[in-house]
Amino acid sequence: MSKRLVGIDLGGTNIRAALAESATSHGPRSERRSPAGESPESVVAACVATALDACGGEKPDGVAVGIPGPLNPRTGVVFAAPNLGEWDHVDARRLFADALGCPVAIQNDAKLAGYAEWVSGAGAGTENMIFITVSTGIGAALIFDGRLYGGAVGASGEIGHLKVGGDAVCALGHRGCLEAVASGTAIGKNARDAVARGEKSSMSSLDAELIDGQAVNDAAQAGDSLARRIIGDAGGVVGTAIGSLINLLNPEVVVVGGGVMDAGELFFDPLRQAVAATAVEVSARACRVVAAGLGTDAGLAGACAWAWKNFS
Ligand SMILES: [Zn+2]
């Protein structure tokens, strides 16, 4: 009988789990609310219950967990996970393995979303791929020579902290980070600042705290020129960063995902133009820049694919 392998996508809002059915497919998802803010042990217990739901109550033979924070997959230690609460150097793999009684692999959630896009999404069939997700924050996954690249302690991919200039400060206190300038969070803040300065916009009628990335996209889709400019500027900054990555790494494909891609061409067209203006010709010609294909399933699909890779 085949092994019961489970992928878990642990997020700050929801926990999702499913049975891996092959290297590229998974069964129906089980889901429950994430007890973020409670102890790591409580969060792990909720994940275990979700995994057991996915297995019909049977014990799994191997589990992979995607976790929103920097972590070392070799030691199993999560350095921090601000969306889950006070996770400070938590030995997460041991907590999961003790609670599940089976082998466990942990991996960063953005890396797993990128891994899924590589095995079964927009980057399938390539050997060298960069995945960038632009949402509340900005993260990346790097596939080199057919392998997910980790780095010295597994903390690679933090493209949100690439310095791009300007005075905006990121959540870690750096000035001029990509994430501080062009994330969904930054798009909302840039719009609030512009409205506060008195720039003309349909968003002027909203309470300031309601102007977030989603509200800016809504206004942009309805034709608001300030909202369109702010989203386009963010696309341009992300595209410039991608162009530099193309020059450095010569990938075959760059896959762009995350909530900000809901803005469609308003974000993606300036992004592609900035890539073209930044990347050197030889590398640019060899590289496609495409939208992610798996949507919100990427995190769970990646965790299932990672369980299959590690334990099948
Ligand atoms: Zn930063």
Confidence tier at 2 by pLDDT (50, 70, 90): confident
The pLDDT value given to residue 75: 97
Q: Give the distance (Å) from ligand 1 centre to CA of residue 138.
A: 10
Whether the pLDDT of residue 47 is over 70: the answer is yes
> What is the C-alpha to C-alpha distance for residues 90 and 245, in angstroms, rounded to an integer?
32
The pLDDT value given to residue 1: 58
Whether the pLDDT of residue 204 is over 70: the answer is yes
Instruction: Give per-residue pLDDT as tens, 83-125.
Output: 899 999 999 999 999 999 999 999 999 999 999 999 999 999 9
Query: Helix or strand or coil: residue 244?
Result: helix
Q: Give the distance (Å) from ligand 1 centre to CA of residue 80.
A: 15
Q: Give the distance (Å) from ligand 1 centre to CA of residue 173.
A: 6
The pLDDT value given to residue 296: 87
Q: Give the distance (Å) from ligand 1 centre to CA of residue 250.
A: 24
The pLDDT value given to residue 168: 94
Q: Containing H/E element for 245?
A: helix 225-249
Whether the pLDDT of residue 35 is over 80: the answer is yes
Whether the pLDDT of residue 193 is over 70: the answer is yes
Q: Give the distance (Å) from ligand 1 centre to CA of residue 162.
A: 7
The pLDDT value given to residue 187: 97
Confidence tier at 142 by pLDDT (50, 70, 90): very high
pTM here is 0.94
The pLDDT value given to residue 171: 84
Q: Give the distance (Å) from ligand 1 centre to CA of residue 66.
A: 22
Going along the chain, which residue ranges are E strands?
A: 5-10, 14-19, 30-33, 62-67, 71-72, 77-78, 90-91, 104-108, 129-134, 138-144, 147-148, 253-257, 288-291
Instruction: Give per-residue pLDDT as tens, 242-269.
Output: 999 999 999 999 999 999 999 999 999 9
The pLDDT value given to residue 82: 86
The stretch 232-240 carries a mean pLDDT of 98
Whether the pLDDT of residue 188 is over 90: the answer is yes
Whether the pLDDT of residue 172 is over 90: the answer is no
What is the overall mean pLDDT for the chain?
96
Report which residue type is found at 31: E
Q: Give the distance (Å) from ligand 1 centre to CA of residue 180.
A: 7
The pLDDT value given to residue 276: 97
Q: Give the distance (Å) from ligand 1 centre to CA of residue 126.
A: 30
Percent pLDDT > 70 in the chain is: 100
Query: Helix or strand or coil: residue 291?
Result: strand
Q: Give the distance (Å) from ligand 1 centre to CA of residue 131.
A: 19
The pLDDT value given to residue 212: 96
> What is the C-alpha to C-alpha distance for residues 284 and 286, in angstroms, rounded to an integer?
5
Q: Give the distance (Å) from ligand 1 centre to CA of residue 95.
A: 30
Q: Give the distance (Å) from ligand 1 centre to CA of residue 63.
A: 32
